[in-house]
Structure 1
Amino acid sequence: TLKSGTSGSDVKILEQNLKALGYDGFIADSTYNDDTAAAVQEWQDDLNREQTGTVKPGDAVVAPGARKVSEVKAQVGAAPSGTVLSWTATERVVTVDLDAQYEDLVKNGTKAQVKLPDGTSVEATVTEVGSPSNAADPGSGDSGSGSGDSGSGDSDKASTLPVELKVKDQKGLGNYQAASVDVTLKSESRKDVLAVPVSALVAKDGGGYALEVLKSSAPNGVEYVPVKLGMFADSMVEVSGTGISEGTVVGVPK
């Protein structure tokens, strides 16, 4: 029981949380004095409880870090039996059941883009990659995730890989608590390369591609310049070749 004259880390935790709830008139240290008791009485009054100025075991629940109450199951005034409430961590994460065939695309630290239902996007990072498991057969009545036994020979069960991503910009997630999102994994990247819209590519006779380069010295002001292709991403393609440099004007079909 915490009361005037008590000291220790429990007192400090209580006082810090009273401060966070808006109660004042005391110093959030490790000593429970009359000022602390007065704040506790105010807190008890707001909860319509007896104003004793003391905090007994069971009057408050302490967790190792901030928590968000996700569901309150108990009724005010009812006997405290069973589950009173459930909570989650305050940081929202994104989870993906990735097709196991794409396992080589993800590892801890892999960057990704998360598109929210409202069309906005936030950056995310893969922080955990689980083990592949087989999805449960809908007709089996099994509500679990499957045993992950790859030797079962059941082709009706798609193997998936649980992936967790964390979003540093929590504000960017808006008010969404549980929503379906689109996740784009960045499996490969290129820096300091030349890129053009994919639609600018022109197929050459005999294979390969070229770009329609605008040149005043060429017949009709256009010259088809062969290019070597690199990586494709976001409707753009990496290109290189003689006569292609930054700022080159190329034709793109309307």
Structure 2
Amino acid sequence: MSREVSAEGPDAVDQAEQPVTSTDWEDTSRQSARLSRRTGWWMAAGTAAVVAATAAILVVRQSPRQAAERPATPGAVATVQRTDLIERERVDGTLRYAGSYPIAGSGGVLTWLPAPGREIRRGQQVYGVDGRLVRLFYGPTPLWRDLRVGVSNGADVLAVERNLAALGYRGMTVDNRFTEATRAAVRRWQEDARLPRTGVVTPAMVVVTPDAIRVGSVPGLLGRPAQGNVLLATGTRRVVAVDLPAAKQQLAVEGAEVVVELPTGGSTSGVIAGIGTVATSSGDADTDGAAGQGQPGQAVQNATIPVEIRLGDPSAAGRLDHAPVTVGFTLAMRRGVLAVPVTALVAHPEGGYAVEVVDGTADPRLLPVRPGAFADGQVEVSGDGLVEGMRIEVPAP
């Protein structure tokens, strides 16, 4: 986990006004490298990291008086904007598919298996055994008994009826009773699924998962017994999993928005969808199951809680199945502040910072400002005479 901080106050100006030597540049580079993993301020709608903004403020442009002896370089013009700034704590996470569903075989000989990466939805085949295809139903728990007319009422009956209705088999009441109407619907489904039309649903006929699944790996082999796990599947929805240090659990608020930095260089928004209630530590146990042998208190310091994040735009992750990401959790927010590009700041001759106001005169005039929070190449500024929409000079791109 990291925090990025902004360089603020007169100390930053003093650094900017000192002659820069090669040693100074090396020190600054090392300092920038250290800063690159610390927390910072991001624009509310921004998606890039603030490392560039933090490092940029360490090298402030000279004022017009300081640059008088230098050749003139035409600049560009930006405007003072009123916006929101968000301070975020950055924590590493993993992009992956949600859920884990090991699919156990039902006996017999495997005669058909799906390829890894295949998505399987309600009613579709999961695997084949003895020449028949086992289908997928949605539900909270697997079937555990044969379902036929006369069986006692139960949630498993309700699950089967819901799936039959969703697949278009009507003419029955969807409740927890297996009636003659249910049997008729089962027979129609069995005919379409090329199963014996018995009107009885057995656990070997269907695999039950909460939703659609995606095949991750296929440990089963054609022609071998359908025993043990024949498939290892996940859900079809990609999420970000974060092991958040337990000491920072206040950062995770269900429903709160976060920013997810992707390995592609882009980023997208996300929403905290789930927060674990059990803290674990990598030092809780060693590979033999014995208690960890680390320093006293180390397990407490390393304790984490699982946090799951739903991507606001799943397509932003491209075709990545599994990848490291960085998540920005909100620490604090500054709403409705005036902000300018960091590169608009110049060192004022009398100390402090200033911006160069472009007001139609021959040369820009210096307006003293006080910098605040940094975010995505922007910096909060305040000062007498500073107003929203004011045109200021920035270096030409």
* Fold-level similarity (TM above 0.5): yes
The match for 2:390 among 229, 238, 248 is: 248
2:307 maps to what in 1? 164
Structure 1 counterpart of 2:240, from 94, 113, 123: 94
Q: Equivalents in 2 of 1:251, 1:105: separation in Å?
A: 41
1:80 Cα shift? 3.4
User: In structure 2, what is the Cα distance between the partners aligned to 1:24 and 1:249?
Assistant: 67
CA–CA distance in structure 1, aligned partners of residues 221 and 192 of structure 2: 17
Give the distance between the partners of 1:126 and 1:37, measured in 2 at CA: 39
Q: For residue 165 of structure 2, give the secondary structure of its aligned residue in structure 1.
A: helix
Q: Say whether the 8 Å CA contact 1:2–1:11 is kept in structure 2.
A: yes
Aligned to 2:275: 128
Identity %: 33
Q: Does 1:107 align with 2:252?
A: yes
Distance 1:242 1:66, change over 3 A: same
In structure 1, distance between residues paired with 2:307 and 2:231: 25
Q: How does 1:139-150 map to 2 (within 5 A)?
A: 147=292, 149=294
Correspondence for 1:214: 358
TM-score, normalised with respect to structure 1: 0.71
* Mapped contact 1:131–1:162 kept (Cα < 8 A): yes
Aligned to 1:138: none
**Following TM superposition, by how much is the alpha carbon of 1:175 offset from its aligned partner in structure 2, in angstroms?**
5.7
Match of 2:143 in 1: none
| Alignment match, 2:7 | none
The 1:26/1:169 distance shift into structure 2, 3 A limit, reads farther
SS in structure 2 at match of 1:18? helix
Shift of 1:214: 1.8
Shift in Å at residue 125 of structure 1?
Answer: 2.7
After TM superposition, the score normalised by the length of structure 2 is 0.49
Q: Deviation at 1:121?
A: 1.7
| Matched residue type, 1:166 | I
Amino acid aligned to 1:228: R
> How far does residue 223 in structure 1 lie from its aligned partner after superposition?
1.4
The structure-2 alpha-carbon separation of the partners of 1:26 and 1:92, relative to structure 1 and needing over 3 Å to count, comes to farther
Q: Which residue of 2 aligns with 1:237?
A: 379
1:228 aligns with 370
Question: Residue 165 of structure 2 is aligned with which of 1, 12, 19?
Answer: 19
Q: Is the alpha carbon distance of 1:189 and 1:147 closer, same or farther for their aligned partners in structure 2, counting shifts above 3 Å?
A: farther
Structure number with the higher strand fraction is: 2
The question of whether the paired residues in 2 share the 8 Å contact of 1:132 and 1:148 is answered with: no
* Greater relative contact order (Cα < 8 A, sep 6+): 2
Contact kept? 1:112, 1:184, Cα under 8 Å: yes
Structure 2, unmatched stretches of 5+, are: 1-145
Corresponding residue SS for 1:188: strand
CA distances 1:93-148 after superposition (whole Å, capped 9, x unpaired): 212457x6x9489333563212445646232337437758569xxxxx9799x959
> How much does 1:81 deviate?
1.7
2:211 aligned residue:
66
The alignment's C-alpha RMSD in Å is 4.1
CA distance in structure 2 between the aligned counterparts of 1:233 and 1:170, rounded to whole angstroms:
22
Matched, 1:179 2:326: no
Kept after mapping to 1: 8 A contact 2:273/2:310: no
For residues 12 and 168 of structure 1, the distance between their equivalents in structure 2, rounded to whole angstroms, comes to 32
In structure 2, C-alpha distance between the alignment counterparts of 1:57 and 1:117, rounded to whole Å: 43
- Quick one: which of 338, 341, 350 aligns to 1:197? 341
Opposite residue 186 of structure 2, the aligned amino acid is V
**Residue by residue, what CA displacement relative to the aligned partner does 1:190-237 show, whole Å, maximum 9, x if unpaired?**
1010000000010224542111112346xx342111111111011100
Distance 1:90 1:251 in 2: 49
Aligned to 1:32, the other structure's residue is in SS state coil
